[in-house]
Amino acid sequence: MGHGGGGAMSAELVDHIFAPAFGGEVLAQLGDAAAVTLGGTRLAFSTDSYVVRPLFFPGGSIGDLAVNGTVNDLAMSGARAAYLSCAFILEEGVEMPVLARVAEAIGAAARAAGVEVATGDTKVVESGHGDGIYVNTAGIGLIPAGVDLRPQRVVPGDVVIVSGAIGAHGVAVMSVREGLEFEAEIESDSAPLGGLVAAMLAVTPDLHVLRDPTRGGLAASLNEIAAAARVGVVVRERAVPVPPAVANACSVLGLDPMYVANEGKLVAFVPPEHADAVLAAMRAHPLGAGAVVIGEAVADHPGTVVARTGLGGTRVVDLPVGEQLPRIC
Amino acid sequence: MRVATRAAAGPPRRSRVTVRGVVQGVGFRPYVHALATGLGLAGHVTNTPDGVVAEVEGGAEAVAAFCARIGPGAPPLAWVESVDHQTLAVTGGSGFAIVASRTEGQVRTLVPPDTATCADCLAELADPGDRRHRHPFISCTNCGPRLTIVTGLPYDRAHTTMAGFPMCGACAGEYADPADRRFHAQPIACHACGPRLRLLVPDGARPDGARVDGDRPEGSRVDSARPDGARPGGTYSGRTAPGGDPIGAARALLAAGGVVAVKGLGGYHLACDADNADAVALLRRRKARGDKPFAVMVRDLPAVERLARTCPQERALLTGPVRPVVLLRGRRRALGGAVAPGAPDIGVMLPYTPVHHLLLGLPGDPPGPSVLVMTSGNVSGEPIVTDDGEALEKLAPLADALLVHDRPIRVPCDDSVVRVLDGSVSMVRRSRGYAPLPVALPVEVRPALAVGGDLKNTFCLGEGRRGWLSAHIGDMDAPAAAAAFERAREQLSAVTAVRPEVLAADRHPRYRSAAWAQRDRGELPLVRVQHHHAHLAAAMAEHGLDGTRRVVGVAFDGTGYGDDGAVWGGEFLLGDYAGFTRFCRLAYVPLPGGDAAVRRPYRMALAHLWAAGIAWDPGLGPVAACPPDELRVLARQVERGLNCAPTSSMGRLFDAVSSLAGVCHLAGYEAQAAVELEAAALDAGGGTGPGYAFGLAPGADGDAELVAAPGPVLASVIADLRAGTGVRTVAARFHAAVADLVLRGCTAARERHGLETVALTGGVFGNALLSRLCADALRAAGFTVLVHRLVPPNDGGLALGQLMVAARRSDSG
Ligand SMILES: [Fe+3]
Ligand SMILES: [Mg+2]
Ligand SMILES: [Zn+2]
Ligand SMILES: [Zn+2]
């Protein structure tokens, strides 16, 4: 479980097993999507597998995630997704109406995202060898000219913007999976971000980096960027938007919303001179209505993300490692 | 003392005497000069990197007398580690000289700790005829700042933060005069040449310190943060209070109920009048401090007696040269109960710098507060603030004025905290006045650096038979702690000249201290030491055990990363420096939501009840204290094991029982629930009858021979409460039950493994009542009991244990 958590352990797998084995310059960039040049055209190319349990949850399903997840990975390189592949691994005995609902969700999500499912595959494994339905999608899209989104471009002074309130997806999935009854039902924020990104790039192609804070949450995304860019990141804790219901659920469970997964949010590092205009463009888009500045990149403490607490205190926000063990003695 | 003539002292001899230890900057050479000339000896004395070296020549008996007396008669600040003699050829000559220092070669001398203003300086401070009358930086070879101003070695003025204050003629004369009390006193200063004191007030403040309370504070992650804390809204542009008397203005502000940030030896304090409940409440709100006890500084011993009864040993600690905060059993309602609400002890210290003496008032001064709250100037959890710019940024919002000076603080050094336990001094925080004196090690260690834990961090440099523990750094959570750690490590490395060959750190995967060691170790090996093994090794080391025999380590604390990935903290280990096995532990219960369970003891109580199979009856305190929505989710959470690490923590069991007994459901500061449970137990006095009994059964998982079940204890607590038994009695019976468990566990270890020595270690043994109950029971049963004295039982002592485990030379034991 820990190795899939999007934190230090999955980074370890990539660094120590996959990257050395595969080699290649493209993989070495280690972005959410690869930027490749084919026949003189710059393409974003990405794949992701979806093993979420349960298959349906408030605000979405594995089908929505399979489309939006890959669409968003492409969007983080600035690309509008053009074509998707979609592969199913089905466990023997999975009910057809369930599969049909997932397929419909995929179709609807693809239409909403303006992407076409162009190819696919289906395999069936023996009963007990799968979890009902696994989905893999891959996608390609064009990267607009002049757009170069990489953490290495981040410099001290960059403004950190999130597109809206965080934490809903992870809490929504957990509440159904674990049978937790919170005061208010929390819905996943699953959404395709290609349009929002296009609106941001329309202001200026000179955004430095975008990330969708999925597994490991905002904390993981900020840590990855800080490490790759060799800058420090300072976040004003009180500026990070968390819906009250999510904050309440996290408090009750002892979770930090900064570590909870999102499926329809992005975090952007923007040169300060463009920050206001980009923020305004985001707020004008339905998926960026709640966009806010949460902090900035700094020259101090490179590689480290620091949260400034309400009372003038500061704490290090580290990369999530396995379970969140307390350190208090 | 004085020997009459040289003729009476036998045939001539010449000896070279080398004294190692803390022998520089403490008046050692004038002392040697006086001793030698008093004995009629000729020769010279000099500071070398190896220590103080004296060559003396004269009658054999006089030389022998010199050698015999040089160590025992050393000046108050000296700490003599060794005295070596070497016979030389007689050269003749007369007179005794102090010759210039030699600085070449490897540095082996030690830097003294910071020391409280001595009686001689205090007399001059109060003497209108003295040229240092009321000088806020008066000091001499017997007192004043040391560690906190040292920037390098050799220890002389150029290598201190006094380098920027050229001596005036009068001071230079004293500095050069071997007969003067300030001969080579590096911090020497006077009104003419010394640092300046200033009182900074916010722009727009009235000179009397009155101001308009401004905005509400920003919110906080601390559960106990209160929404109504008013903070001063002023900005500081470095404006000095008018009138030219910063001390007088600061005293007036304090008397009017204001909060003043005071720059001291090892960092800033926040001060207010402890007798003024409104002022204390204001500081508490501004610091978002919850009910955490404040330390107070009291003018003199008679004023201490108003707050607490003291024994002679406590009085000696209070008035001695270290001047730590001494935890005293407070009188009920002392200071209106505002300073240390709910806590059994009150932390008291006497003034230790001239500024403190002036702030509390010299004889004849206008009346002012005689008891000041003196709490570390920091944002909760961060290291003490030492930098003036940082003080303006971080402390100005908390204070009505800043009493500052222009002598830089090189490294942070918080106040030490001690208590008297069973007639001995026991460390709670080993810092100012102790650091950087080394701890003598029972066996040789390789040059090594142990980075300690993540909370109450101290680190330890070791080499040979010495372990240098750093001053208290703080919680590594704050980025400022990393910088403070790095600064302190550089300085201690410089003054000890230890070049580590191995590093040691905790095994916790999320400890920043360990990540730091991992990142900075270069080619050096890094040994990861299990948390409770380090606690045990620290106890063994300070008691001089060479590690050839295993001992029983009762390691009780809040949290330590266990080798099975669980959160340990209620362990009986059988071990030595080389390794350990787990003999007995508390049964695992879920720790629901990590830190959330720690901050909300009612969650811990509910988890313990769930694990014991006891229903969540709405009549039970923690059930009532838990909001219904949280209760519903928590039930699923513990059933599903969702974000629930298994824990055997004794600290968490104290939290659970504290909540179950209705003493404390929410912890606003570390260990609040346990501290208040101890206070309740102390209030019960004697005659509480039998304690409760833990279940004790063979371990089923193979990770421990015995497992202790708290279930029967919890059931007894509930039965007592339902029968109307008082909370204090319940608290006392619980303490007795834990002591009984310790005795039973150790007795079983003795029967099965023949071990007779028990070390009581871990933060839970900061509970003086529990420590005494356990030690008494074990001693009565014939055990040898090791209780921490030199280093704290909590994580402040961890680095010493890590050092012993990682760097002990196996061939030297
Ligand atoms: Fe500990
Ligand atoms: Mg992805
Ligand atoms: Zn003095
Ligand atoms: Zn002078």
A186 and A283 part of one domain? yes
> Residue B266 is encoded by which pair of tokens?
């090892």
Asked, for residue B622, whether it belongs to a domain, the answer is no
Query: Which entry of B20, B29, B134, B489 is annotated as an active-site residue?
Result: B29
**More confident of the two residues B506 and B478:** B506
Give B177's pLDDT tier (boundaries 50, 70, 90). confident
B515 and B371 part of one domain? no
> Residue B723 is encoded by which pair of tokens?
């029968």
Q: How far is A255 from chain B (nearest CA, A)?
A: 6
**How far is the centre of ligand 4, averaged over its atoms, from the C-alpha of B44 (Å)?**
28
CA angle B381, B386, B387 (to 5 degrees): 115
Cβ atoms within 10 Å of B754's Cβ, excluding its own? 9
Q: Which residues of B touch A309 (CB under 8 A)?
A: 220-221
CA distances (Å), origin B813, targets B444, B530, B577: 8, 21, 10
Q: Which residues of B touch A315 (CB under 8 A)?
A: 381, 477-479
B208 and B348 part of one domain? yes
Query: Does the pLDDT at position B238 exceed 60?
Result: no
Asked, for residue B251, whether it belongs to a domain, the answer is yes
Give me the pLDDT at residue B779, please: 97
Give B226's pLDDT tier (boundaries 50, 70, 90). very low
How far does chain B reach from its first CA to its final CA, in angstroms? 42
Q: Which of residues 452-471 of B touch A (CB under 8 A)?
A: 453-456
Give B228's pLDDT tier (boundaries 50, 70, 90). very low
Query: Does the pLDDT at position B2 exceed 50?
Result: no
A306 and A179 part of one domain? yes
Q: What is the DSSP letter of A183?
A: S
Give me the pLDDT at residue B423, please: 86
Asked, for residue A101, whether it belongs to a domain, the answer is yes
**How far is the centre of ligand 3, averaged over its atoms, from the C-alpha of B579 (Å)?**
47
A163 and A98 part of one domain? no
The verdict on B505 touching A (C-beta cutoff 8 Å) is no
A191 and A99 part of one domain? no
B450 and B342 part of one domain? no
Cα separation, B118 vs B366, whole angstroms: 24
Give A2's pLDDT tier (boundaries 50, 70, 90). very low
Smallest Cβ distance to B636: which of A179, A238, A311?
A: A179
3-state secondary structure A284-327: CCHHHCCCEEEEEEECCCCCCEEEECCCCCEEECCCCCCCCCCC
Give me the pLDDT at residue B393, please: 84
What domain range includes position A96? 32-142
Ligand nearest to the CA of B168: 4
A294 and A160 part of one domain? yes
A46 and A80 part of one domain? yes
Query: Does the pLDDT at position A309 exceed 60?
Result: yes
Query: Does the pLDDT at position A217 exceed 70?
Result: yes
Strand order in the sheet with A159-162: A209-211, A267-270, A159-162, A292-298, A232-236, A305-308, A314-316
Query: Does the pLDDT at position B732 exceed 80?
Result: yes
Give me the pLDDT at residue B163, please: 94
Asked, for residue B734, whether it belongs to a domain, the answer is no
**How far is the centre of ligand 3, averaged over its atoms, from the C-alpha of B125 (Å)?**
10
Q: Is B603 a catalytic residue?
A: no
A96 and A175 part of one domain? no
Asked, for residue B732, whether it belongs to a domain, the answer is no
Query: Which of the listed residues A123, A142, A161 is the one where a domain comes to its end?
Result: A142
Cα separation, B71 vs B81, whole angstroms: 9
Query: Does the pLDDT at position A65 exceed 90?
Result: yes
Asked, for residue A22, whether it belongs to a domain, the answer is no
The reply to whether residue B512 touches residue A316, judged by beta carbons under 8 angstroms, is: yes
3-state secondary structure B285-333: HHCCCCCCCCCEEECCHHHHHCCECCCHHHHHHHHCCCCCEEEEEECCC
Q: Which residues of B touch A302 (CB under 8 A)?
A: none
For residue A267, the domain's CATH number is: 3.90.650.10
Query: Does the pLDDT at position A213 exceed 70?
Result: yes
A137 and A162 part of one domain? no
Asked, for residue A24, whether it belongs to a domain, the answer is no
Mean pLDDT of B482-504: 91
For residue B335, the domain's CATH number is: 3.90.870.10
Asked, for residue A2, whether it belongs to a domain, the answer is no
**More confident of the two residues B395 and B217:** B395
Q: How many domains does chain B have?
A: 4
Determine contact, residues B486/B458, Cβ cutoff 8 Å.
no
Q: How far is B237 from chain A (nearest CA, A)?
A: 19
Question: Residues of A at the B interface (Cβ-Cβ below 8 Å)?
Answer: 174, 178-183, 237-238, 248-249, 251-255, 301, 304, 306, 309-316, 318, 321-329
B172 and B271 part of one domain? no
B499 and B458 part of one domain? yes
Question: What is the pLDDT of chain B when averaged over all its residues?
Answer: 89
Asked, for residue A156, whether it belongs to a domain, the answer is yes
Mean pLDDT of A274-280: 97
Smallest Cβ distance to B643: which of A254, A301, A315?
A: A254
Q: Which residues of B touch A323 (CB under 8 A)?
A: 594, 643, 645
Residues of chain B with pLDDT > 90: what percent?
69
**How far is the centre of ligand 3, averaged over its atoms, from the C-alpha of B319 (Å)?**
14
For residue A55, the domain's CATH number is: 3.30.1330.10
The verdict on B474 touching A (C-beta cutoff 8 Å) is no
The verdict on B284 touching A (C-beta cutoff 8 Å) is no
B234 and B341 part of one domain? yes
**More confident of the two residues B236 and B343:** B343
**How far is the centre of ligand 3, averaged over its atoms, from the C-alpha of B369 (Å)?**
25
Asked, for residue A18, whether it belongs to a domain, the answer is no
Rounded-to-5 percentages of helix, strand, coil across chain A: 35, 25, 40
Q: How far is B598 from chain A (nearest CA, A)?
A: 8
Give me the pLDDT at residue B383, please: 82
> Please, which residues have CB within 8 angstroms of residue B445's CB and are 6 or more apart in sequence?
B462, B463, B464, B465, B467, B803, B804, B807, B808, B809
Mean pLDDT of B57-74: 93
Query: Does the pLDDT at position B211 exceed 50?
Result: no
> Residue A65 is encoded by which pair of tokens?
């995630």
Give me the pLDDT at residue B217, please: 34
Mean pLDDT of B173-183: 89
A137 and A160 part of one domain? no
B357 and B490 part of one domain? no
Give B212's pLDDT tier (boundaries 50, 70, 90). very low
For residue B12, the domain's CATH number is: 3.30.70.100
Instruction: Name the residue among A287, A289, A274 with its Cα closest to residue A204.
Output: A274
Give me the pLDDT at residue B495, please: 84
Q: How many domains does chain A have?
A: 2
Query: Does the pLDDT at position B1 exceed 90?
Result: no
Ligand nearest to the CA of A50: 2
Give B676's pLDDT tier (boundaries 50, 70, 90). very high
Give me the pLDDT at residue B434, please: 94
Give me the pLDDT at residue B310, please: 94
A176 and A259 part of one domain? yes
Give A288's pLDDT tier (boundaries 50, 70, 90). very high
B355 and B267 part of one domain? yes
The reply to whether residue A329 touches residue B558, judged by beta carbons under 8 angstroms, is: yes
A45 and A190 part of one domain? no
* Nearest residue on chain B to A238, alpha-carbon basis: B219
**pLDDT tens digits along A99-150:** 999 999 999 999 999 999 999 999 999 988 877 899 999 999 999 999 999 9
A108 and A172 part of one domain? no
The reply to whether residue B221 touches residue A309, judged by beta carbons under 8 angstroms, is: yes
Give B386's pLDDT tier (boundaries 50, 70, 90). confident
**How far is the centre of ligand 4, averaged over its atoms, from the C-alpha of B132 (Å)?**
9
Query: Which of the listed residues A90, A118, A142 is the one where a domain comes to its end?
Result: A142
Asked, for residue B73, whether it belongs to a domain, the answer is yes
The reply to whether residue A254 touches residue B593, judged by beta carbons under 8 angstroms, is: yes
For residue B159, the domain's CATH number is: 3.90.870.30
Query: Which of the listed residues B364, B390, B405 is the one where a domain comes to its end?
Result: B405
Give me the pLDDT at residue B229, please: 37
Cα separation, B165 vs B526, whole angstroms: 42
Cβ atoms within 10 Å of B780's Cβ, excluding its own? 9
B209 and B311 part of one domain? yes
Question: What is the pLDDT of chain A when averaged over all its residues?
Answer: 89
Weakest mean pLDDT among B451-465, B482-496, B644-658, B756-770 = B482-496
Smallest Cβ distance to B795: which of A248, A310, A329?
A: A329
Query: Which entry of B14, B20, B47, B582 is annotated as an active-site residue?
Result: B47
Asked, for residue B451, whether it belongs to a domain, the answer is yes
What domain range includes position B521? 431-533+801-807
**pLDDT tens digits along A136-147:** 999 999 999 999
Give me the pLDDT at residue A28, please: 58
Give B100's pLDDT tier (boundaries 50, 70, 90). confident
Stretch (H or E) spanning B449: strand B439-450
**pLDDT tens digits along A18-43:** 878 887 766 656 667 888 898 889 99
Question: What is the pairing mode between strands A267-270 and A314-316?
Answer: unpaired
For residue B479, the domain's CATH number is: 3.30.420.360
Query: Which of the listed residues A142, A171, A204 is the one where a domain comes to its end?
Result: A142
Asked, for residue A127, whether it belongs to a domain, the answer is yes
B130 and B168 part of one domain? yes
Asked, for residue B349, whether it belongs to a domain, the answer is yes
Q: Which residues of A touch B648 (CB under 8 A)?
A: none
Give A177's pLDDT tier (boundaries 50, 70, 90). confident
Q: How far is B616 from chain A (nearest CA, A)?
A: 17
Query: Does the pLDDT at position A155 exceed 70?
Result: yes
How far does chain A reach from its first CA to its final CA, in angstroms? 27
> Residue A166 is encoded by which pair of tokens?
């965080």
Asked, for residue B733, whether it belongs to a domain, the answer is no
B470 and B458 part of one domain? yes
Give A313's pLDDT tier (boundaries 50, 70, 90). confident
Give me the pLDDT at residue B86, please: 92
Give me the pLDDT at residue B232, please: 47
Residue ranges in A166-293 assigned as alpha helix (H): 168-178, 194-203, 217-229, 244-253, 272-283
Q: Is B47 a catalytic residue?
A: yes
B188 and B212 part of one domain? no
**How far is the centre of ligand 2, averaged over its atoms, from the C-alpha of A140 (Å)?**
14
Give me the pLDDT at residue B295, please: 95
